[in-house]
Amino acid sequence: MPHFRIKCKNCGTLLKDTYCAFCEHCSNALLVTEYRDKDFQYNRGEGIWRFNWLPVHKAEFDQPGPVVYHSEALGKRLGLESLFIAFNGYWPERGAQVLTCTFKEYEAAVALENARENGMKGLVVASAGNTARAFAHISSKSDFPIIIVVPKMCLLEMWYLIESVRVPTVALSDGDYADSIDLARRISSVLDMPFEGGVKNIAKRDGLGVVLMEAVRVMGRLPEHYFQAVGSGTGAIGVWEMAERLLKDGRYGNRLPELHLAQNLPFVPMVKAWKRKSRELNPAELDPALINLITTRVLSNRYPAYSVKGGIYDALTACGGDMYGVENDEVFYAMRLFEDTEGIDIVPASGVALAALIRAVKDGRIKSHETVLLNITGGGERLVEKERGTFIVEPVFVSKNTDERELEEILCKQLKTD
């Protein structure tokens, strides 16, 4: 018997199917995992598989998780006594062994294992960069077939581990991340292979919630403040959902952490909607032209999970907190500050989160004694390149205007080659 059920966030209906990568019960509402165990446990295995609140039964591969530690150097620089860092990446000195250098690796591991256990034969995955690298790596080491779809505009920022070289990758030549999601859905239909579902996939959200579970395991409590950069919002929603489970457990605090979520100016549609206290995004603020002006294209989702029931708007309403728009120069400053104080490089999206924390401290939003969890969603790329070797992705290119028959021919040739 499964150790979890899936429930509609809107009406509370329990679903019979335990694989819901692209499902919804009520229109514009997320599904959520409901676990039979109400008490948080972390004695089930190694790495991320130690946690009981994951929608998998018996994983067939190892998966390292985040390293959470109390920051002395950065905390002292910011005047914070209880700053904890969740480092997601490659940093052997700290015990961090996430080779793709992104927390998306937990999402990929849980989503692919969940799909395998539910009889799926493969998945189509859309990405702006980090998700592609993570899914390619997990696909390679778990021998689970996937097809990855990315926008051409993100290729310069993309790299794979050497062992992921044979994972089929399609690049959209004339669109952004949102257009790539549309293409991924078309490929799913053409090949009769499920689309991984983005934020609708409960396995992806719970996989990203590993960050909070590990933090609570180390800290022994829920943080008072949580900082993260957001693109689709999947990770922040996963953290909120996990925080609600931990709150119900009763041993780790009596209130939800305040969420402090950040985007890179000028593409900040969720930030602007939240400042208006509006559930609805303004279409003008989703202008693709703005994406070319930011340094973190991995945060450039024009289909964010903001308005949907159970999405970012509801998460912020439930938890409190705020959203921050961060300039490019603030991102670069934060990246340098982290490396100077902590001793490891971080990716620009992590710089966005740290820049938001710097702003919040400066504005008096955070008291010096309060417990803060900073999610460094990626780091250690230079060391991976030096020690393991990486390669630039060489995809097959298609256009938004490619019809279904031609798309099928291209894909069949690509799959046969790979």
Q: How many CB atoms lie within 10 A of CB 300?
A: 27
For residues 217 and 204, what is the distance between their CA atoms, to the nearest angstrom?
Answer: 20
Which of 158, 180, 140, 194 has the alpha carbon at shortest distance from 418? 140
- Both 241 and 331 in one domain: the answer is yes
Q: How would residue 153 be classed by pLDDT, with cut points 50, 70 and 90? A: confident
For residues 53 and 51, what is the distance between their CA atoms, to the nearest angstrom?
Answer: 6
Note the helical H segments in 118-233. Answer: 130-142, 177-191, 202-208, 210-219
Strand partners, 336: none
Sequence-distant (≥ 6) Cβ neighbours of residue 152 within 8 angstroms: 171, 172, 173, 174, 397
Within a domain: residue 16? no
What pLDDT is stored for residue 99 in this prediction? 97
Average of per-residue pLDDT across 333-341 = 98
- Could you read off the pLDDT of 169-179 as tens digits, one per residue? 999 999 888 89
- Both 263 and 368 in one domain: the answer is yes
- Both 253 and 376 in one domain: the answer is yes
What pLDDT is stored for residue 416 in this prediction? 65
- Both 280 and 378 in one domain: the answer is yes
Q: How many CB atoms lie within 10 A of CB 160?
A: 22
Within a domain: residue 406? yes
Distances (CA, A) of 395 to 147, 168, 406: 11, 7, 17
- Could you read off the pLDDT of 39-93 as tens digits, one per residue? 999 999 999 999 999 999 999 899 999 999 999 999 999 999 999 999 999 999 9
Task: Reply yes or no: is the peptide bond before residue 288 cis, omega within 30 of 0.
Answer: no
- Both 188 and 234 in one domain: the answer is no
Share of the chain above pLDDT 90, in %: 85
Is the C-alpha dihedral spanning 65, 55, 8, 180 positive or negative?
positive
- Both 290 and 364 in one domain: the answer is yes
What tokens does 325 get? 């728009």
| Mean pLDDT of the residues in the chain | 94
pLDDT at 20 over 80: no
pLDDT at 325 over 60: yes
- Both 209 and 179 in one domain: the answer is no
Cα dihedral 161→163→167→169 (10° resolution): 30
- Classify residue 45 by its DSSP letter: S
- Could you read off the pLDDT of 344-396 as tens digits, one per residue? 999 999 999 999 999 999 999 999 999 999 999 999 999 999 998 888 888 99
For residues 349 and 77, what is the distance between their CA atoms, to the nearest angstrom?
Answer: 21
Within a domain: residue 14? no
Domain boundaries, position 150:
121-193+390-417
- The count of structural domains within the chain is 2
- Both 326 and 406 in one domain: the answer is no
Within a domain: residue 31? no
Q: How would residue 108 be classed by pLDDT, with cut points 50, 70 and 90? A: very high
What tokens does 137 get? 């790596």
Which of 156, 109, 106, 107 has the alpha carbon at shortest distance from 129? 156
Within a domain: residue 274? yes
Sequence-distant (≥ 6) Cβ neighbours of residue 10 within 8 angstroms: 25, 26, 29, 309, 310
Within a domain: residue 163? yes
Structural contact between residues 317 and 334, judged by C-beta atoms closer than 8 angstroms: no
- Both 245 and 371 in one domain: the answer is yes
Which of 280, 254, 253 has the alpha carbon at shortest distance from 269? 280
What pLDDT is stored for residue 1 in this prediction? 66
Distances (CA, A) of 264 to 45, 82, 293: 37, 26, 9
Residue 65 one-letter amino acid: G
Q: How many CB atoms lie within 10 A of CB 143?
A: 10
pLDDT at 418 over 70: no
* SS3 per residue for 301-330: CCCCCCCCECCHHHHHHHHCEEEEEECHHH
- Could you read off the pLDDT of 302-320 as tens digits, one per residue? 999 999 999 999 999 999 9
- Both 396 and 258 in one domain: the answer is no
Is residue 417 within a helix (H) or strand (E), and if so which, with residue range?
helix 404-417
- Both 253 and 329 in one domain: the answer is yes
- Could you read off the pLDDT of 154-212 as tens digits, one per residue? 887 789 999 898 899 999 999 888 899 999 999 999 988 999 999 999 999 999 999 99
Indicate which CATH number applies to the domain containing 371: 3.40.50.1100
Phi and psi at residue 140, to the nearest 5°: -65, -45
Q: How many CB atoms lie within 10 A of CB 9?
A: 18
Q: How would residue 298 be classed by pLDDT, with cut points 50, 70 and 90? A: confident
Structural contact between residues 140 and 162, judged by C-beta atoms closer than 8 angstroms: no
- Both 299 and 407 in one domain: the answer is no
| Burial of 119 from C-beta contacts in 10 A (0-12 / 13-18 / 19+) | exposed
What tokens does 256 get? 């939800």
Average of per-residue pLDDT across 4-16 = 91
pLDDT at 19 over 80: no
